[in-house]
Amino acid sequence: MIEFWELIKESVNTLRLNKMRTSLAVLGIVIGIGSVIALISIGQSSQKSVTSQIESLGSNLITVSPGSQSSGMVRTSTARKTLTLADAEALEKAGLSAINSVSPESSSRLQVIAGDNNTNTTIYGVKSTYSGIHNLKINGGRFITDSDYTSQSHVAVLGPTVVEDLYGSSSYDCIGEIIRINGQNFTIIGITVAKGSSGMTDSDDAIYIPLSTAMKQLFGVNYLSSIAIEAASSDVMVQAQNQIGYFLLARHKKTEIAKADFTIRSSEEMLSTASSVTGTFTSLLSGVAAISLIVGGIGIMNIMLVTVTERTREIGLRKALGAKKKTIITQFLTESVILTFTGGILGIIIGVATSYGYSRINSSNFTISPYSVLLAFSVSVVIGIIFGWYPAKKAASLQPIEALRYE
């Protein structure tokens, strides 16, 4: 035990002789370890945020969108008009066993004005069923009712982000105030509970108005942006999708599924897709960070090789006095491991601090995986051994006479 601590002490003293070189070697490992922890944390945080965002849209949610899935991300104007209010009303009256409720929806981005302030936000035309299907809670006032829909009322429910943009504070009591949407006056009747944002998507940046008012007076359209449907339970999601699909195929007079002019997706599918994408993103980030770890290890090997060259006469003297090959190897390996061990500790601190700072700035979840910390630290020690082995072996293989003659 005494020999071990003497070895550690001697290694530390040797590394302290050239502080700049030691610091640069440690810096490479610090950057590598910090990057691995921070990037994995950010990836996992993004994954949780996206998952939370999708789950907040509603439980057992099925969304029917206009246009076929084969039409891709960019839908033509014709593809956007394939769902109508009549389709949604027919689904409501069909009595399909696997579905609970239906929410026809129409949306568009428009300018909203309140006094001297204005903002550009998404306007959703909805019915009373929207809040239940999408888990939308009201913080103050009320939501759209069937009476508002029937009478085409000019009432609006605002998301917290819109309230912040128009009135400077999300807690401002703006219920009863008048806002102008595309030149038309609307009375604020409610404010929703904040759901939060995910990346570039902000669920709170929205205004909800009666669907009839939106379609006939504001947007001037006779088609829907989507139809949201709540399945009876999570166990019948597939059955619900099949019932909805075959029902709409019959209504649209389509004989083959391949010719469907609509797309059906469940929240489970969206969650699976999002998890797959964010998982791949996290793996990519981890791979990039791992490269910096390897670069840091190569840096340590280069510095240890330089150290061997500089200490050639010392090595020769020690071997001439009876030092064994094993002792020389252990000495240089210990110095290498101390470098990576120190870099690992500092890297963990910096990685955790970076992850925490990112979560605070972006108001996202602060997620640190103990597995990633343990893995990064273990890898740093292994790198110290692997990249320190060759310089240590080279030092131990020097012949005493040749080493003593080295200038």
pLDDT tier at 268, thresholds 50, 70, 90? low
Residue 73 has pLDDT above 60, yes or no: no
pLDDT tier at 86, thresholds 50, 70, 90? very high
Note the pLDDT of residue 127.
Answer: 95
Note the pLDDT of residue 111.
Answer: 93
Q: For a pLDDT cut of 90, what percent of the chain falls above it?
A: 25
Q: pTM value?
A: 0.62
**Helices 2-16 and 19-56, interaxial angle, to 10°?**
100
Query: Which of the pair, 157 or 355, is modelled with greater confidence?
Result: 157
Q: Mean of the per-residue pLDDT values for the chain?
A: 79
pLDDT tier at 87, thresholds 50, 70, 90? very high
Largest CA distance in the chain: 103
| Per-residue pLDDT tens digits for 282-324 | 777 677 767 777 777 777 777 777 776 666 666 666 667 666 7
Mean pLDDT of 336-358: 83
Note the pLDDT of residue 71.
Answer: 44
Instruction: Name the most confidently modeled range: 60-74, 156-170, 307-321, 381-395.
Output: 156-170
Mean pLDDT of 170-192: 87
Query: Which of the pair, 137 or 56, is modelled with greater confidence?
Result: 137
**Helices 325-362 and 312-320, interaxial angle, to 10°?**
140
Residue 217 has pLDDT above 60, yes or no: yes
Q: For a pLDDT cut of 70, what percent of the chain falls above it?
A: 74
Note the pLDDT of residue 363.
Answer: 66
| Per-residue pLDDT tens digits for 4-15 | 666 677 677 767
The pair of structure tokens assigned to 163 is 């309230």
Mean pLDDT of 96-118: 91
Q: How far is CA 347 from CA 27, 166, 380, 384, 402, in A?
A: 9, 43, 10, 14, 40
Rounded Cα gap, residues 128 and 136, in angstroms: 11
Q: 268, exposed or middle or buried, with CB in 10 Å at 0-12, 13-18, 19+?
A: middle
Looking up tokens 């709540």, which residue turns up? Answer: 230
Mean pLDDT of 176-185: 92
Mean pLDDT of 17-22: 75
